[in-house]
Structure formats: C-alpha cells, structure tokens
Amino acid sequence: MKNIFLTLFLISSITCLNAQNKPPRKVQLALLIDASNSMDGLIEQAKSRLWAIVNEASSLKFNGVAPVLEIAVYDYGNSEISDKNYVRLQTNFTSDLDLVSEKLFALRTNGGEEYCAAAIEKSLQELVWSRDPNDLLLIYIAGNEPFNQGPVNYKSICTIAKNRGVFINTIYCGEYQQGVKESWKDGATCSNGAYFNINSDAKIAAIPTPYDDQIIQLNKNLNTTYMWYGEQGVMKKSNQGIEDKNALNLGSNIASERALVKSKSAYNNASWDVVDAFQADSTKILELKEDQLPEELQGMGPEEKAALINAKTAERARIQAEIQELGKQREVFISKINRNPANGEVKDDFGSAVNKSMKEKAILKGFN
C-alpha cells in the first residue's frame, strides 16, 4: 500500500513540475496589409490600433499565465515590391513591439496588383509558425480587391492553413456584400476564420480621457528605467522614444494605449535593456565588458551593478503599477461613453475586427 501511495505521489509531483516548467502559450499574429494606392487609410488604422490589439492580446490567459505575443508584418500590392506577386516581409514573428510599430509607420502605398492568396501563401511558407496545437495562430489580411485574383488558388491555401491550425481572418475595405461577392468571406470561413468589412477611410474615433496626461507623464518616467546594453542597445533605446512620439502624434489616446502596453509583460526588451535582461539572466549582464554597458554601470563592481539594476527594477514596477491602475479607470470611462446610445453604433475598424476575432478564437483554444 505504501508503494502505491509513493507511486501516486511521485506521479503527481512530476505532473505539477512539468506543468510549471512548460513555456507559456503563444499568440502569433501575421498582419498582411494591402499597400496599393487606395489603402492609405487602412495603414493609418493599423498604426493607430496596434497598441489596442496588443493590449487585447495581453489580457488573454492560459491557465492563469499570459501568453507570449509574436507579431509579423507583410505588405502586398505595392508596385515597388520586387517580388513577382508583390508581397514583402517587413518583419518575421517578433516580440519586439517597437520594431513592429516602426515597420507599420514606414509603410507607403503605391499602385500594384493585390494577390491575397499569394500573400497568405508566402506568410505560411516564410514565417516560423508554432507547432503546438494549443497556441493561437492567426493571419489577418486586409484589402479591397477581389480575394480570388492572382496566380495562387486561395482555396488550396486555405486548406493548408486549416491543416496547420492557422485561422485566416479577412478584413474587406468596402461594403459587406461586395466583400462577400469578391470571395473575402469565403476566404475566411474556409479556414474557420472570421470575415469583417470596414471603412478604411474612416478616422479612428479618439476618446480623450481625464487620465491620458497622467499616463503619458508616467510613461516618460518609465523610460528613465531603461538602460541599453550591447551593440544595438543605443539604437533600440532611441527607437523606443521614436515610437512613443509616433503614438503621441496620432493622439493622446493612442499614446496612452502604448504606455499601457509598456506596463505589461508583453513589452519585454531583454535583447537590449539591462533591467529586462537581468531578470532573464543576471549573469549575462554582470559579465559584459565595459564598452557594452551604459555609462551608469561603467566602473562598477558586480554588487554595485546588481544594486543599481534592482533599484531600477523596483522603480519600473512601481511606475507600471500606477499606469495599470490609471488604465483601469480609463477603461471604465471609455466603456461608459461607448455604451451611450446617443453616440450611435460603433462600427468595426481594423483594430476592433482583429480584437473581436482574436478573442473568439482564443476561447476556442482554451484561453480566457
């Protein structure tokens, strides 16, 4: 009997240990943006709604643990793209959210042929998709030309995506029924994805709140806790400030949404930031040569370095907590406005289309 109990205890312990050691689930989003002449509005919506999308993804949990978010960006339909089907990879799957923002802000439109199936095919071939069936794998393709045009058969591509557990979600920039006629709905449902239509020329409705100025100031304070390291550190730290300005130029509401992302685990810069890298592996930072470190850490011994980094870590956590608390109050404020019938029906835009379908598919995968 003792042996039976011992065996059961060992099995239970091993199961718990394995559960604890399992890496977090992934959410992989591939954004395929039509960059032909008429799609300037779509690109503006994608830039404006990036941080709302990341905040939605950050709110997902799998067994109480937030997933790792990876985003890839393609543009297609631009005649300046050298690829024969006018499809271009801007960035492979990455958790570097500043890089994703940089790539979106760099997109420019030009006339060309829009081949949706070719864009999807290339994303399936080039990107490193997860093979874990519990991960959430999503393609979002947005445009306004017939979905079935071009040299690639979209039905065969849909079959490949479905077999690999990738949901193709389509966003037609035009009238709903016209998108149905032009196969955008079928292009989604054939892989169990979602179909949306949007007015890509519509400006994103900005809802200023009494909390935005405080959040933006806290974000400035938050930036002082970042210390670069390594060969690309200075450039990456500079880019953080550039993407802050890009968000603020779109409006205080967008800047607030970006700051909220920066208060969460999804915004991790261990590849260039001393604090995040120290949390991941303290020995890595302490062993770096002087010329690989910021001035604040140069000339210090290991204990002094650790003390300064721990102080920055504590300061960052405090500021992030303040931003998150203000974010909750901001969300309540916005929800009251959106629920007000006098404000009319809230129509889908690029961001709301992504968020709705992402949440729906996440539930199917066991996220909550």
Expressed as residue numbers, the domain containing 313 is 212-343
Considering the domain boundaries, does residue 218 fall inside one? Answer: yes
Same-domain status, 228 and 318: yes
Number of domains in the chain: 2
Considering the domain boundaries, does residue 308 fall inside one? Answer: yes
Does residue 12 carry a pLDDT above 50? no
Same-domain status, 217 and 180: no
Which of 72-81, 122-131, 285-294 is the least confident region?
285-294
What's the rounded mean pLDDT across residues 13-40? 78
Does residue 5 carry a pLDDT above 50? no
Considering the domain boundaries, does residue 19 fall inside one? Answer: no
What's the rounded mean pLDDT across residues 103-116? 95
Whole-number mean pLDDT of the chain? 92
Considering the domain boundaries, does residue 12 fall inside one? Answer: no
DSSP 150-199: SSS-HHHHHHHHHHTTEEEEEEEES-HHHHHHTTHHHHHHTTT--EEEE-
Structure confidence at residue 10 (pLDDT)? 45
Q: Are 114 and 120 in contact (CB under 8 A)?
A: no
Same-domain status, 304 and 355: no
Structure confidence at residue 339 (pLDDT)? 77
Considering the domain boundaries, does residue 302 fall inside one? Answer: yes
Same-domain status, 264 and 162: no
* Burial status of residue 214 (CB atoms within 10 A of its CB: 0-12, 13-18, 19 or more): middle
Confidence class for position 111, pLDDT limits 50, 70, 90: confident
Same-domain status, 170 and 238: no
308 token code pair: 């300064």
Does residue 11 carry a pLDDT above 50? no
Q: What is the CATH number of the domain that holds 124?
A: 3.40.50.410
Structure confidence at residue 176 (pLDDT)? 97
Same-domain status, 118 and 239: no
Structure confidence at residue 15 (pLDDT)? 41
Same-domain status, 232 and 328: yes
State the Cα–Cα distance between residues 119 and 78, nearest whole angstrom: 12
Structure confidence at residue 368 (pLDDT)? 86
* Burial status of residue 335 (CB atoms within 10 A of its CB: 0-12, 13-18, 19 or more): exposed
Structure confidence at residue 16 (pLDDT)? 41
Considering the domain boundaries, does residue 38 fall inside one? Answer: yes
Structure confidence at residue 340 (pLDDT)? 74
Q: Are 144 and 174 in contact (CB under 8 A)?
A: yes
Dump pLDDT digits (tens) for 148-206.
999 999 999 999 999 999 999 999 999 999 999 999 999 999 999 999 999 999 988 88
Structure confidence at residue 205 (pLDDT)? 80
Structure confidence at residue 204 (pLDDT)? 86
Does residue 2 carry a pLDDT above 70? no
* Percent of the chain residues past pLDDT 90, beyond the cut: 85
Does residue 247 carry a pLDDT above 50? yes
Strands 166-173 and 68-76: unpaired
Same-domain status, 268 and 136: no
Structure confidence at residue 347 (pLDDT)? 79
Same-domain status, 193 and 259: no
Structure confidence at residue 206 (pLDDT)? 83
Same-domain status, 338 and 353: no
Dump pLDDT digits (tens) for 36-74.
998 999 999 999 999 999 999 999 999 899 999 999 999
Same-domain status, 296 and 216: yes
Considering the domain boundaries, does residue 17 fall inside one? Answer: no
Confidence class for position 319, pLDDT limits 50, 70, 90: very high
Tell me, yes or no, if the pTM score tops 0.75: yes
Same-domain status, 147 and 229: no
What's the rounded mean pLDDT across residues 106-115? 93
State the Cα–Cα distance between residues 303 and 309, nearest whole angstrom: 10
Considering the domain boundaries, does residue 18 fall inside one? Answer: no
